[in-house]
Amino acid sequence: MKKIVCIFGTRPEAIKMIPVVSELKKNRKAFKTKVILTAQHRGMLDQVMDLFKVKADYDLNIMKRTQNLEYITTEVLIKIQEILRKEKPDMVLVHGDTTTTFAAALAAFYEKVPVGHVEAGLRSYDKFNPYPEEINRKLTDVLGDLYFVHTVSARRNLLKENVKSRNIYLTGNTVIDALKMTLRKKQGFINKEIGKLNFKKKIILVTAHRRENWGKPLKDICFALKEIIQKHDDVEIVYPVHPNPDVKNTAKKIIGKIRGIHLTGPLDYTDFVNLMNKSYLVLTDSGGLQEEAPSLGKPVLVLRKVTERPEAVRAGTVKVIGTDRARIVREASKLLSSRTAYMKMKKAVNPYGDGKAAKRIIKSIRRYFNRSY
Ligand code: UD1
Ligand code: UDP
């Protein structure tokens, strides 16, 4: 029996780690599973935990209204260390590239506990894009012992950094597991405003929250949305806004009262993916959406300079366009007006997984332990 501690703290980590936690818990004879939440996010994390009915064993509850990277890193490091000393796990699992991910992996390393990194090997090769995620994931991969990658290109990135190939497991991304679990559920909307949308119009789903987009880039994105809605009367824009005060205040100020633009709070994951499924187009700076939308056949315009997820770009459903106002308007207008351009991008591709990633991760962990003992 091996004790596995899963540590996560933000919305996307919860969405992508819960399939792993569920699968570990199904294997009760082989694994004792503990869940530690850093709660780097509070409300957005709780939404996901409640939806999937997962209970945590520990909750560090660290989120503050304004929190900087140093605060998150040190709080997580110190508080996780205490729990690891008490629990003495055989392995810690972390996910992705948040500051929770990196600090938890560092704490595990200090306690000499092997680290399994779910969604390892993503690289943009640009230190400040996305910031701080590119460095968080690189550091986590330095601290790691086994690596679950979603694509062969992520595997290649790790090999270039001299990670041993026997420690890399190609599993696919658990985001597709979560998506499949959720799309099976009922299709109505919990959020009343979303339920009342006119779905005969073309829905553009927008999310933007990244640190490197705070300030001018986010303002430009908002001005572009305003221009798009003024130019196209067959369109409705829905932007579930991240609760970070910097993001929320900017969005509210520029597009809070524009007809046809719906600013909502963070949507329940079920509402969000069902809305994405009914949308025409996605505009986002998120990482997870670049994986979910292509599998639903939705074109994505990425509001970033670079992406660490080149597979869907290569497949033609995702285009990286940056945050220049005129370019956003131009690219979105092209997809709204030209059926040929739209149909060229609208194809369901699934480079990131088949919904069985969590099962493969558990199988790989078993193999790892059989090998090491
Ligand atoms: C974090 C991650 C980012 C990830 C994103 C997913 C870091 C440095 N950043 O960014 O990689 O893509 O989560 O969403 O790890 N807040 C709330 N309620 C919540 C969540 C956040 O009010 O449920 C507000 C708080 O004011 C908080 C702020 O948002 O201080 C920023 O949260 P933080 O986790 O520091 O950064 P994110 O931009 O969410
Ligand atoms: N999401 C959600 N509700 C929302 C917006 C996003 O449930 O209102 C989900 C989305 O489906 C995806 C994840 O949250 O799985 C993406 O989170 P975010 O954009 O915050 O983080 P990133 O993917 O950029 O790390």
Q: What is the mean pLDDT of residues 157-174?
A: 97
Question: Does residue 366 register a pLDDT over 90?
Answer: yes
Residue tagged active-site, from 90, 126, 211, 324: 211
Same domain, residue pair 136 and 245: no
35/190 Cα distance (integer angstroms): 28
Mean pLDDT of the chain: 96
Nearest listed ligand to the Cα of residue 267: 2
Residue 178 domain-assigned (yes or no): no
> Residue 246 is encoded by which pair of tokens?
């910097």
Query: What is the pTM assigned to this prediction?
Result: 0.97
Same domain, residue pair 89 and 41: yes
Respond yes or no: is residue 292 known to be catalytic: no
Question: Does residue 347 register a pLDDT over 90?
Answer: no
For 173-211, the pLDDT digits (tens) are 999 999 999 986 567 899 999 999 999 999 999 999 999
Same domain, residue pair 140 and 80: yes
Residue 143 structural domain: 2-173+354-372
Same domain, residue pair 153 and 37: yes
CA atoms within 13 Å, Cβ hemisphere of 116: 26
pLDDT value of position 179: 95
pLDDT value of position 113: 98
Angle between helices 11-26 and 43-52 (to 10 degrees): 30
pLDDT value of position 280: 98
pLDDT value of position 188: 85
35/194 Cα distance (integer angstroms): 33
For 92-146, the pLDDT digits (tens) are 999 999 999 999 999 999 999 999 999 999 999 999 999 999 999 999 999 999 9
Same domain, residue pair 95 and 52: yes
Residue 182 domain-assigned (yes or no): no
pLDDT value of position 185: 57
Which CATH number belongs to the domain containing residue 159 in this structure?
Answer: 3.40.50.2000
Strands 281-284 and 58-59: unpaired
Same domain, residue pair 146 and 94: yes
Which residue's CA is minimally distant from atom 29 of ligand 1? 244
Residue 184 domain-assigned (yes or no): no
Q: What is the number of domains present in the chain?
A: 2
Residue 20 domain-assigned (yes or no): yes
Residue 179 domain-assigned (yes or no): no
Same domain, residue pair 135 and 265: no
pLDDT value of position 372: 62
Q: Which atom of ligand 1 is nearest to the CA of 10?
A: 13
Residue 185 domain-assigned (yes or no): no
pLDDT value of position 371: 79
Respond yes or no: is residue 232 known to be catalytic: no
For 268-279, the pLDDT digits (tens) are 999 999 999 999
Same domain, residue pair 260 and 167: no
**Residue 56 phi, psi (nearest 5):** -95, 150
For 210-264, the pLDDT digits (tens) are 999 999 999 999 999 999 999 999 999 999 999 999 999 999 999 999 999 999 9
Question: Does residue 373 register a pLDDT over 80?
Answer: no
Same domain, residue pair 72 and 208: no
Residue 292 domain-assigned (yes or no): yes
251/266 Cα distance (integer angstroms): 13
Which residues form ligand 1's pocket by a CB distance below 6 Å? 10-12, 40-44, 63-67, 69, 97-99, 132-133, 209, 211, 243-245
Burial level of 306, CB count in 10 A (0-12/13-18/19+)? middle
User: Ligand 2 center to residue 87 CA distance, Å?
Assistant: 31
Reference 350, options 299, 316, 312; nearest CA is: 312
